[in-house]
Structure 1
């Protein structure tokens, strides 16, 4: 049975292109990407075949966490431009037939936000309860934080404030205090400043950052101890998926989104984070609940590690298939929706993780992964540079080239602990694999200085990947065999068979095979067989009987062998 979507809103058929503004295109030679730079590349994005762009935070910010520490929701970080530049970019997208999505970051603000400055000014300030404050505990005669929650960026999630002699909560960096959504005045201020302000400017929706953690358990209890060697423990059980969080999302829908076209017009996609329970996920994305349109599931892309952590465990292709199929089938028989992505600004590059960045396989594995994603049931998200086969940073780069505070905090903590050379070498190996910096290097537009990201005289805010002279847009633009050309081709194929690929049912074939991912898609009288070899060796393969007489409609190799798949080969057979 096909998924019933007789009146799908535009975003269920969409391909969304994510832009990290600092690294996309610098238009004025200061070394930072900016909004005018994005505007100058809209023709490129239109020709690629995307339906919407999602721009990571461009709001006024001290940039401690590169924009996810917002100082003023209603203004723009000056190196990126102005509010007028955002308005021009929104208009430019609409003129090109694309939508514009922005990040909604309302779990926390910067400690430089005026709200926090007031909250911090005194214990009796009216905005004191807009954030989480606590006097702490006395243990063995010493003052200690209120509980054992660990920050995602290392150490305690509580920071002592000398002025008012209390701790404030920060689930991320210490300069990013958590907002207290128990306070109704705070919520209304957030809704007006962070949401209504931009809806009035014409944005077409929001990607909702950390959407599961707005509610905190009353009394701030200790989290379960999962690592007795550490003083600080993952606090998720005490703040994830609480009733207050569901209420916030429903209020946003009822008080704001419904007045601007609702789910038919506006896309809302939330960051699921660690959610693996499908029933729990449905509480967020069920249409009848009127909360979120869909979630970004991280269970597949985070195989082997936790977000913002640097410990990597082995995983198998069976694990990859199992998690992908689980979320593909999640929406069958429900009123929810799903998404697919393999890259974003918080995770490593997909070729390095799931394909091969070896020179002989890099381009082919990039095309294989593109095929895998574009034929999956969902709204499709791709990340800047994915379409030209960008990879993780070179292993030769020293730690000084990494800009993310989480990476630097991890390294500095090891140094402070007196880690020996062996431990530091192991840590560096994991940083090379997992650091968020891997996806944040500047976009590679050409083989000229700084990859055409900025002017030759400028100093890019982050070093350009050393391989830019070979892997760039200009070199691939008119090459029919390039990764970029293949992305255009596969996205066009997705659009041609949009019912089948965006809304068709999904079933794995040969589930136990540890080298291939093979699945069948169905929508009414249409069907597709998608075959992907995830290895660097040839694999024997026989086409299921149903597709025996149907030649591949798409392949990433010049000649497909009937009895075998080439390394990293992908094929798509379509009937009906």
Structure 2
């Protein structure tokens, strides 16, 4: 079901901007970003040209996982303001033609949510079955090591089961122990979630980004049991086969579509976060005929630099692997479905530090990476500060980190005793989620114009020269390059809908592909290195028109050869009537 210029949904030509509210802009001096801070910066978003703003959670929460542990889905946490503040933000964005998407976190709640408070109050409470409660393993004393109902390992280290002494059973939490998993097998849970979603749509939002939505269905045995996963290290195993893309997942998503979105589908955006999804999974999720999701976030490309020891044991990126992964998704969703394109988000380190050069070539590598991503077929996502070329935080002390995942990793790794603190810190500096969560740089003043108080995370010292005020003043900046990329998607049907063909798949340093639609053709080239690269291209591109470049004298092929300067990214349009070549 290939989209055409005449029937393509609006989001094929849109760009989404993610706001992580606690780090965006503080309005009251408490060091934490808030909704009235967002109001101060809505014109920044309008000037950038984005079409949608996605908000990470602002709901009431104990903030164990920075708001992804929700205690009230239908109120705003006082840290961020009030529901009335949020209404004002939504109105301000809508007045500027920008849609609003809210984070939907319904695989789990906070353990302080009233649903869970009731659920844990007794074994016969009507909401007991709203969560996953199970007894200890047969023959083992409850609360003793190894007595957990399964051996599954939590995403945040340790087991996925927490023993509750009051009722003598365990509850499931795939993430923090303060994030118990909802039991979607129970139809009352689903109806409560759907009612909440309708409430938000009635309030005026334009869609949802669905957090780890592919984990909501667990594989349950006929007797209600959950099975162990294959052993990995120690007593814990990989239980993902029992809860990732579970047997009723698509049924639940289609039910959600019927119950929540039917009758009001026009103009909405539905994107799912789906760790572990394959291209085949992506095609099922995003086939419009199946009525599930518009697009999904895949994770394959952001796992390519994970080393043998996992995320915090990084290795250099092999560009050939990146091309293979992204090319496979482009090909797999060419005829049905749609891609979500991203480098950065609140869970990933800054891309310019990760796949680029955040020193001498910060501007060039940031703009090249943006060019390559935005010229793929799909909907691009820009994470706050990415449009400024913000870099990793370069935090130097364990005391500087706040992320629960990172802190649990430190605790667990230190307990093992064979990894030095220096090596642990190096892994955190490269890969911690806190790298993306440091405050946005608005100017060169103290605390980067983010707050008049003490920021909840340290501000990156390079804000003195990497900040919005400086970027806006420089026509060649990362910020203005993002503006041009966003405008290009709005204006150019080939960028939105053109066919994708990967070139030079075996080249170690150059990313190259074409986009073609109705006789129009674009060539995209990106040099992923600090050295000049010379590559051969089809002579049909000789003398091509430069559509967009990130260096003063963009490369144009001559005699079938193109020479790219360090970290250069360029988009070329084939001149009509040019000679073909081999």
Tell me which interval the TM-score lies in, with the shorter structure as reference length: over 0.9
SS in 1 for 2:215: coil
Q: CA deviation at 1:225?
A: 2.2
Alpha-carbon spacing, 1:3–1:309, altered in 2? closer, same or farther (3 Å): same
Q: CA deviation at 1:2?
A: 7.4
Give CA deviations for 1:262-306 in whole Å, capped at 9, x if unaligned: 1x3210000121112x22222211111111111011111221339
SS in 1 for 2:117: helix
Provide the residue aligned with 1:439 in structure 2: 436
Residue 546 of structure 1 pairs with residue 546 of structure 2:
no
Provide the residue aligned with 1:63 in structure 2: 63
Residue 246 of structure 1 pairs with residue 245 of structure 2:
no
- Taking the aligned partners of 1:409 and 1:537, their CA distance within structure 2 comes to 39
SS in 2 for 1:541: strand
Give CA deviations for 1:370-427 in whole Å, capped at 9, x if unaligned: 11122111011010000111111115x201111001111111223334x25x532222
Provide the residue aligned with 2:390 in structure 1: 390
SS in 2 for 1:31: coil
The size of the alignment, in residue pairs, is: 563
Provide the residue aligned with 2:370 in structure 1: 370
| Aligned residue runs from structure 1 range 190-339, under 5 A | 190-193=193-196, 195-218=197-220, 219-227=224-232, 229-259=233-263, 261-262=264-265, 264-276=266-278, 278-305=279-306, 309-334=311-336, 336-339=337-340
For structure 1, the residue ranges without an aligned partner over 5 or more in a row are none
* Residues 488 and 495, structure 2, Cα contact 8 Å, conserved in 1: no
Alpha-carbon spacing, 1:183–1:361, altered in 2? closer, same or farther (3 Å): same
SS in 2 for 1:256: helix
Q: CA deviation at 1:315?
A: 4.0
Residue 462 of structure 1 pairs with residue 457 of structure 2:
yes
* Residues 280 and 332, structure 2, Cα contact 8 Å, conserved in 1: no
Residue 169 of structure 1 pairs with residue 172 of structure 2:
yes
Provide the residue aligned with 2:480 in structure 1: 485
Q: CA deviation at 1:246?
A: 1.4
SS in 2 for 1:255: helix
* Residues 229 and 242, structure 2, Cα contact 8 Å, conserved in 1: no
* Residues 506 and 520, structure 1, Cα contact 8 Å, conserved in 2: yes
Alpha-carbon spacing, 1:63–1:445, altered in 2? closer, same or farther (3 Å): same
Provide the residue aligned with 2:579 in structure 1: none
- Taking the aligned partners of 1:411 and 1:326, their CA distance within structure 2 comes to 35
Provide the residue aligned with 2:28 in structure 1: 28
SS in 1 for 2:325: helix
SS in 1 for 2:314: coil
* Residues 2 and 522, structure 1, Cα contact 8 Å, conserved in 2: no
* Residues 153 and 308, structure 1, Cα contact 8 Å, conserved in 2: no
SS in 2 for 1:310: strand
Q: CA deviation at 1:112?
A: 0.2
- Taking the aligned partners of 1:126 and 1:135, their CA distance within structure 2 comes to 18
Alpha-carbon spacing, 1:309–1:166, altered in 2? closer, same or farther (3 Å): farther
- Taking the aligned partners of 2:306 and 2:111, their CA distance within structure 1 comes to 29
Residue 99 of structure 1 pairs with residue 99 of structure 2:
yes
Q: CA deviation at 1:107?
A: 0.3
* Residues 147 and 220, structure 1, Cα contact 8 Å, conserved in 2: no
* TM-score computed with the length of structure 1 as normaliser: 0.94
| CA RMSD in angstroms, aligned pairs only | 1.8
Q: CA deviation at 1:149?
A: 0.5
Give CA deviations for 1:445-467 in whole Å, capped at 9, x if unaligned: 00011000011xx1111111111
Alpha-carbon spacing, 1:315–1:478, altered in 2? closer, same or farther (3 Å): closer
* Residues 3 and 505, structure 1, Cα contact 8 Å, conserved in 2: no
Q: CA deviation at 1:54?
A: 0.4
- Taking the aligned partners of 2:487 and 2:537, their CA distance within structure 1 comes to 25
Q: CA deviation at 1:309?
A: 4.3
- Taking the aligned partners of 2:544 and 2:316, their CA distance within structure 1 comes to 37
Q: CA deviation at 1:166?
A: 0.5
Q: Which moved more, 1:176-185 or 1:309-318?
A: 309-318
Q: CA deviation at 1:494?
A: 2.2
Q: CA deviation at 1:543?
A: 4.0
SS in 2 for 1:243: coil
Give CA deviations for 1:2-34 in whole Å, capped at 9, x if unaligned: 754531221121100000000000111111101
Provide the residue aligned with 1:405 in structure 2: 404
* Residues 530 and 571, structure 1, Cα contact 8 Å, conserved in 2: yes
Alpha-carbon spacing, 1:5–1:172, altered in 2? closer, same or farther (3 Å): farther
Residue 523 of structure 1 pairs with residue 529 of structure 2:
no
